[in-house]
């Protein structure tokens, strides 16, 4: 595989699956700084071992398998004298983390759909022209007769509105997941 193409594929897969891997790590590593360190180490190893990844398989599961080793090393150092989880409990927590990440992706998609449904008809049409029909902003301005600068401002406002809606919805969902995880 050509090096640039390999890098593009890895970057795309990591971008699509990083949240699931991070959620897995955070289940076992409550401190953000430690979790970020583990994620960085895991990503480095994932890149080094990317040739062993089988295209078409679950990239997140593959990455979680690599991250698991770093999580276990950290927990062994940190909890040598404390309670250790049985492998059944670890497996249950892993499954929960992966399901939570999948749910979070579904929640984001649902939040985007809800946000789109709340847009005015005119704003929804602008987005449809841009993203469904593939028009550039210049083409949209020409087709609608709207000034280009005003259209850029309108698109920025629409994006900002959608982003706020999605962030609010996801934050509410994350809060629910955190409460459920604490109950475990």
Average pLDDT in the chain: 79
CATH number for position 75: 1.10.1740.10
What pTM does this model have?
A: 0.47
- Rounded to whole angstroms, the Cα distance separating 7 from 181 reads 35
Number of domains observed in the structure of the chain: 2
Instruction: Give the rounded percent of residues in the chain with a pLDDT score beyond 90.
Output: 23
Sign of CA dihedral 138, 142, 144, 148: positive
Q: Mean pLDDT, to the nearest integer, of 78-83?
A: 50
- Among candidates 123, 100, 111, which has minimal Cα distance to 180? 100
Confidence class of residue 182 from pLDDT cuts 50, 70 and 90? low
Domain with 123 in it: 105-184
User: Are both 29 and 75 inside the same structural domain?
Assistant: yes
User: Are both 123 and 168 inside the same structural domain?
Assistant: yes
pLDDT in tens, 30-65: 788 888 999 999 999 999 999 999 988 999 989 998
CATH number for position 128: 1.10.10.10
pLDDT at res. 147: 93
């Amino acid at each position: 595989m050509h090096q640039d193409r390999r890098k593009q594929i890895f970057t795309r897969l990591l971008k699509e699956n990083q949240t699931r891997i991070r959620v897995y790590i955070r289940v076992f590593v409550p401190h953000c700084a430690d979790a970020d360190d583990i994620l960085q180490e895991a990503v480095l190893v994932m890149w080094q071992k990317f040739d062993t990844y089988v295209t078409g398989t679950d990239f997140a599961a593959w990455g979680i398998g690599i991250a698991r080793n770093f999580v276990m090393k950290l927990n062994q150092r940190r909890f040598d004298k404390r309670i250790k989880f049985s492998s059944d409990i670890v497996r249950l927590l892993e499954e929960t983390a992966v399901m939570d990440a999948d749910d979070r992706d579904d929640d984001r998609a649902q939040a985007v759909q809800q946000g789109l449904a709340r847009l005015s008809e005119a704003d929804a049409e602008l987005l449809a022209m841009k993203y469904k029909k593939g028009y550039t902003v210049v083409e949209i301005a020409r087709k609608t007769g709207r000034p280009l600068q005003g259209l850029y401002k309108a698109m920025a406002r629409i994006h900002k509105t959608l982003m706020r809606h999605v962030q609010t919805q996801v934050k509410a969902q994350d809060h629910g997941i955190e409460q459920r995880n604490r109950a475990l």
